[in-house]
A and B are shown apart, each in its own frame.
Chain A
């Protein structure tokens, strides 16, 4: 338990398989990119320390598997998230269309206290592919969708080239931090001796 206050932020990355979730995380945390595709099994976990407005905090990044067979892990994985990152591939219309499903699934499973204002960030990844010639989702279309869902911040990224990755995660951290501000007040009771005397189990419970 650190004596000085540090905040830990849980960030979930969601999106169809193959849109580059793991690559984005690797680019951000390790500054590395590999062309090899390796499907994530279940989830990968990485941590990154971030300085923001003179405060040090830790991002705990949950890189989840996009394959549908891992969806059953949802509740447990999404519980207590501070921010959810939705990723699609600008070269795949289906991955963009599915953003809505990912967002709704997350809100159902994580059931945050204030779903309207839960911080999402949307990343349109792989903008580098084919010099943008194979792109099928326009920035305009993506931004319109984000605006309709309560002005979700939007970034166009390339995990391969490292474009916008740092900026996107800065924004993710900022939004996660914002949502973490209203903390529960811890209010323990004091024993009322009239009612508290519990019979003690005799003998050995072990």
Chain B
């Protein structure tokens, strides 16, 4: 049987909440689940049970399994094969359908996620000719389109913001004013549901499925947000993206806009958001490359413990002088941050703040003082952000409640900059940017002895490791046991670390596809209806995905689709050990304003 129709997976719930070596869990589970049931069908007509098991938007039903960058693939799913299996399967092995195993799996472990529909003969397209992703350009594209344009209708993922009177506020593609009729239609749909069930007040439309498209709605008082997508992302992910877009709007304006709508429903918000297109388009772009958008965690730039401590010390110094938050970041990665007593910063706020600053060109050219709102901290009021770029990628943000603190913060910045320069923090930051983060090839271990066997992250502490290697983007060969990539999220730190991409996950398109797979995995692991789950093992023609969730961390790994399951499990344990070994360098530890 060819790989395209040999989808198989099993999903497992471990009753033991204590994290123990992962292989124990799978061993116990293999004993319990030996049965296998397989369903093959040509359409999704029999998918009733699945749709029931995921009321708010199921996964994988009636979807072909790949995507193009921005366009709908011209081809249609003419024939699909749907296979369900209970355990990892050698597909040509003996099969013993068992209805009891089928039901048990559904009840305990969210098996609906494991159904995959595979378009027959689509694999050439996945890695092949369509793999040319143009570099992302900031700002809005395709402004000339409207809902009458064929090209507009073919876009894979639309985002809209509109007011409760149906006036357009933002559209990812096309001109908002030309889309006024479309926007009115969206409002009519939302209002129809709200009005149509007067005896059940509070009814809200959440999701409409139309063929391969999902229309996801989010109502935030007088602001309506809508996503129309055929990307096969789970409903929860799309709704999370709408929440972030709303948060980005709040970051720029605060919830004070609600009062304007209360007094005057025909209030037009667009002038208030003038010039912020680029902020939204950059956020939307990050949905396909930045795992922070679905992990709700932030990531740190790898740095020697002492270097990060030095940065934290000087930030703490200014925080004690009336600064609410002092954050030093390099691109989307945190170098260090401190908060005033009792003040805590949500990772989503950090994501939205750094997106706002990085996408607005004007912050780069001069020191700035800008009102911003942190939606998770306090959505109704402004803070003031002093922002200054220390070098091309590294920027300092000092947040205060005082609108006349500019000169004080400027003095703080000068002090901080002096200390950072003296203690070489800035040069270490640049060096870390060049060296990159964790590479799966460097995974230490005894199974596959590797030359040098780097047992920790810091390449600069190992001058024998050629630094040149890390500047070459496509040299990676994958890690032991077919390990291609991993993300480790520390739950109590609210931080994650993601390995650098290596072969064969080289192109932005492949990376985006992997993130989408992780995102789906994340949604299924956090599914409130069926979850929470502890482990999940999935194999399809693209990857083996192995996910492990404990009270302390979540690990998402991707392997070669032919990887051995036992070896993959062992490798996951080694990844966890590795992360623990280098946690001083990859995480911001202690003095964290995030926890407790």
The yes or no answer to A113 lying at the interface (CB within 8 A) is yes
Q: Are B380 and A206 in contact (CB under 8 A)?
A: no
Of B188, B254, B324, the most chain A CB neighbours within 10 A belong to: B188
B186 nearest in chain A by CB position: A45
Contacts of B182 in A (CB 8 A): 45
- B268–A196 CB distance below 8 A: no
A45 touches B191 (CB 8 A): no
Interface SS, A side: loop
Query: In the complex where A46-B181, A189-B380 touch, is A184 in contact with B192 (Cβ < 8 A)?
Result: no
Bound-state CA distance A180–B380 (Å) is 26
Q: Which of A70-78, A133-141, A147-155, A165-173 contacts B (4 or more CB under 8 A)?
A: A70-78
B377 near A198 with CB under 8 A, answer yes
Instruction: List residues of chain A with CB within 8 A of the CB of B260.
Output: 184-186
Beta-carbon contact of A183 and B191 below 8 Å = no
* Complex CA–CA separation, A197 to B346 (angstroms): 12
Q: A198–B324 Cα gap in the complex (Å)? A: 13
Q: Is B121 an interface residue (CB 8 A)?
A: no
B348 CB → nearest A CB, Å:
9
Complex Cα distance, B257 from A72, in Å, reads 28
Instruction: Flag the segment in B163-171, B330-338, B438-446, B578-586 that touches A.
Output: B163-171
- Any chain B CB within 8 A of the CB of A101? no
CB <8 Å contact, B195 and A80: no
Q: Which A residues fall within an 8 A CB radius of B? A: 1-3, 5-8, 10, 42-43, 45-47, 49, 58, 60-62, 72-73, 75-77, 79-82, 110, 113, 180, 183-193, 196-198, 200, 202-206
- Chain A: CB-nearest residue to B264: A184
When the two chains form their complex, are residues B188 and A76 in contact, meaning their CB atoms are under 8 A apart? yes
Given that A8-B268, A60-B181 are contacting pairs, would A193 and B401 also be in contact in the complex, using a CB cutoff of 8 Å?
yes
B307 to chain A, nearest CB (A): 28
Does the CB pair B273–A1 fall under 8 Å? yes
Are B176's CB and A77's CB within 8 A? no
Q: B561 an interface residue at 8 Å Cβ cutoff?
A: no
Q: Which of A7, A45, A188 interacts with B268 by CB under 8 Å? A: A7
CB distance from A1 to the nearest CB of B (A): 5
Set B270, B381, B526: member contacting A206, Cβ < 8 A: B526
Q: Contact: B381 with A73, CB < 8 Å? A: no
Q: Which residues of B contact A183 (CB under 8 A)?
A: 264, 267-268
Query: Beta-carbon contacts of B127-157 to A below 8 Å, as 1s and 0s?
Result: 0000000000000000000000000000000
**Residues in A whose Cβ lies below 8 Å from that of B198:** 72
Q: Once the chains are docked, how many angstroms separate the CA of A113 from the CA of B259?
A: 14
Contacting A58 at CB < 8 Å: which of B180, B195, B371, B403?
A: B180
B236 in the interface, Cβ–Cβ < 8 Å? Answer: yes
On chain B, the residues within 8 Å of A206 by CB distance are 236, 240, 294, 296, 526
The reply to whether the CB of B276 lies closer than 8 angstroms to some CB of chain A is yes
Which of A3, A43, A73, A200 is the one whose CB lies under 8 Å from B195? A73
Interface string of B112-127 (1 = CB under 8 A from A): 0000000000000000
Across-interface contacts of A5 in B (CB, < 8 A):
271, 274
**Are A10 and B276 in contact, with the CB atoms below 8 A?**
no
Residue B194, interface by CB 8 Å: yes
Does B292 sit at the interface, judged by CB under 8 A? no
Judge whether A113 and B263 touch: CB under 8 Å. Answer: yes
Enumerate chain A residues within 8 angstroms of B185, measured Cβ to Cβ. 45
B residues apposed to A, CB below 8 Å: 163-170, 175-185, 187-188, 190-192, 194-196, 198, 236, 240, 253-254, 256-257, 259-260, 263-268, 270-277, 294, 296, 324, 340, 342-344, 346, 371, 373, 376-378, 380-384, 401, 403, 491, 526, 594-596
A200 and B346 within 8 A (CB): yes
Contact across chains for A80 and B188 when beta carbons are under 8 A apart: no
Shortest Cβ distance from residue A4 to the other chain B in the assembled complex, whole angstroms: 9
The 8 listed contacts between A and B (C-beta, < 8 Å) are A8-B177, A46-B181, A47-B178, A184-B264, A186-B256, A189-B256, A190-B382, A197-B343
Q: CA separation between A2 and B171, bound complex, in Å? A: 11
Contact A82–B181 (Cβ < 8 Å): no
Question: Which residue on chain A has the smallest CB distance to residue B294?
Answer: A206
Which chain A positions have C-beta within 8 A of B296? 204-206
Known contacts A47-B178, A196-B378, A204-B526: A1-B266 contact under CB 8 Å:
no
User: Which B residues touch A80, using CB under 8 A?
Assistant: 163-167, 265-267
Q: Give the Cβ gap from B515 to chain A, nearest Cβ, in Å.
A: 16
**Docked-complex contact A45 and B184, CB < 8 angstroms:** yes
- CB within 8 Å: A-B pair count: 170
- Contacting pair B264 A58 (CB below 8 A): no
CB-contact partner of A10 in B166, B175, B253, under 8 A = B166
Task: Identify the 8 closest CB pairs spanning chains A and B, nearest first.
Answer: A80-B165, A76-B191, A188-B256, A80-B265, A45-B181, A80-B266, A60-B180, A184-B260
What's the least CB distance linking B205 to chain A, in Å? 12
Q: In the complex, which residues of chain A have a beta carbon less than 8 angstroms from the beta carbon of B594?
A: 200
A2 CA to B179 CA, complexed, in Å: 13
In the complex, are the beta carbons of A73 and B191 less than 8 A apart?
Answer: yes
A183 CA / B269 CA spacing, docked (Å):
10
A188-B382, A200-B346 provided; 11 other pairs, C-beta below 8 A? A6-B177, A10-B266, A42-B188, A45-B180, A49-B178, A62-B166, A80-B266, A184-B260, A187-B256, A200-B377, A204-B491
Most buried by A among B190, B259, B276: B259
| A191, B383: Cβ atoms closer than 8 Å | yes
Within 8 Å CB of A196, what residues of B?
377-378, 381, 401
Contact check, A8 vs B168: say whether CB atoms are below 8 A apart. Answer: yes
> Given A75-B195, A203-B491, A206-B296, A188 and B264 touching (CB < 8 A)?
no
Please measure, in the bound complex, the distance between the C-alpha atom of A184 and the C-alpha atom of B262, giving whole angstroms.
10
Q: How far apart sit A2 and B144, CA to CA, in the bound complex (Å)? A: 12
Contact of B181 with A2 in the complex, beta carbons under 8 Å: no
Q: A79-B265, A188-B371, A198-B378 are in contact. Are A8 and B273 (CB under 8 A)?
A: no
CB distance from A41 to the nearest CB of B (A): 11
Structural contact, A58 and B177, CB atoms closer than 8 A: yes
CA distance A51 to B190 in the complex (A): 31
Q: A180 vs B267: C-alpha distance in the bound complex, in angstroms? A: 8
Q: Chain A's nearest CB lies how many Å from the CB of B503?
A: 32
- Determine if A184 and B377 form an interchain contact, defined as CB atoms under 8 angstroms apart: no
Instruction: State A6–B177 Cα separation when bound (angstroms).
Output: 8
Bound complex: CA A47 to CA B276 (Å): 24
Separation of A110 and B165 alpha carbons in the complex (Å): 10
Residues in B with CB closer than 8 Å to A190 are 371, 381-384, 401, 403
Give the distance in Å from the alpha carbon of A8 to the alpha carbon of B176 in the complex. Answer: 10
CA separation between A46 and B146, bound complex, in Å?
12
B178 — which chain A residues lie within 8 A by C-beta? Answer: 47, 49, 58
Q: How far is the CA of A113 from the CA of B264 in the complex (A)?
A: 7
Checking A10, A61, A110 against B167 with a beta-carbon cut-off of 8 angstroms, the contacting residue is A10
User: Using Cβ atoms and an 8 Å threshold, which residues of chain B touch A8?
Assistant: 167-168, 177, 180, 268, 270
CB distance from B483 to the nearest CB of A (A): 26
Complex partner residue of A2 from B176, B180, B254, B267, CB under 8 angstroms: B176
Chain A residues within 8 Å of B253, by CB? 186, 188
Report the separation of the CA atoms of residues A205 and B180 in the bound assembly, to the nearest whole angstrom: 34
Residues of A within 8 A of B196 (CB): 72
A62 cross-chain contacts in B, Cβ below 8 A: 166, 184
What is the distance, in angstroms, from B203's C-beta to the closest C-beta of chain A?
13
- How far is it, in angstroms, between the C-alpha of A201 and the C-alpha of B169 when the chains are bound? 31
